């Protein structure tokens, strides 16, 4: 063990539930929001996950209940 914090993150809830992935080279920032877009035969589904620390000091993305922002418009209409 190196004594360094975990460089991976686990997802909880939504379509990515249970997935584990590496955080990459950038330093993780608690509160960062990740938007996941799922495209399939039906409508586009967007979910948000918020990055935080678990009690065991590991990183986790939890499904966020914050409402998605309204889509931007180009002012033409």
Q: Residue 1: its pLDDT value, please?
A: 41
**pLDDT 10s digit of each residue in the chain, 77 long?**
444 455 899 999 999 999 999 988 888 899 999 999 988 888 888 999 999 998 888 999 999 986 655 666 666 65
pLDDT of residue 62: 95
pLDDT of 34 reads 92
The full 3-state SS of the chain, as one line of letters, equals CCCCCCCEEEEECHHHCCCEEECCCCCCCCCCEEEEEECCCCCCEEEEEEEEECCCCCEEEEECCCCCCCCCCCCCC
């Amino acid at each position: 063990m190196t004594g360094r914090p975990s460089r991976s993150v686990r997802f909880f809830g939504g379509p990515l539930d249970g997935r584990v992935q590496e955080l990459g080279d950038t330093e993780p920032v608690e509160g960062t929001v990740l938007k996941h877009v799922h495209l399939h035969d039906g409508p586009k589904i967007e979910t948000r996950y918020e990055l935080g620390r678990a009690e065991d000091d590991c990183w986790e993305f939890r499904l966020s209940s914050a409402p998605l922002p309204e889509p931007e418009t180009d002012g033409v209409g």
